[in-house]
Amino acid sequence: GEEADSEDDEEPPGPHDPETEWREAKERHAMASAAMDRLMGLTGLRSVKRSAIRIVKEVLLRRGRPAGIRAETSMNFLFVGNPGCGKTTVAKLLGAAMAELGFRTNPVVEETSAQAILKVGPDPVAA
């Protein structure tokens, strides 16, 4: 399902709406991502779309820095919300978009839940 944000009150598209920013970024940087296009086409979810655009811009900025001062950008995300609000749909589209844009090597999204994490406990390898 798709859920509209409270800030998505049928505003006409403007220069700073996520869809316009994505269109401009695609043109400016000669990028293409069918998954990001689909994400931008979802109804509502303006804050999610803004976050996706921010991630793209951050990675592009990082790529422009000299190798010695690059900081890795985490491609791990936590989606929270009620059942049916679009978390899994958005996660899969974002994962696919990040792979299509060359920001990740693996487009597969790893799904888990708080219950599953609590059941397994902390990962000894990550410590």
Tens place of pLDDT per residue across the chain (127 aa): 444 444 444 555 666 799 999 999 999 989 999 999 999 999 999 999 999 999 888 888 887 777 777 666 677 888 888 999 999 999 999 999 999 988 888 888 888 888 888 888 766 545 4
pTM of the model: 0.74
**26 near 37, Cβ under 8 Å?**
no
From residue 60, how far is each of 28, 66, 88 by CA, in Å?
11, 12, 25
Shortest CA distance to 95 belongs to which of 55, 46, 122, 123? 55
> What amino acid occupies position 13?
P
Distance CA 51, CA 81 (A): 16
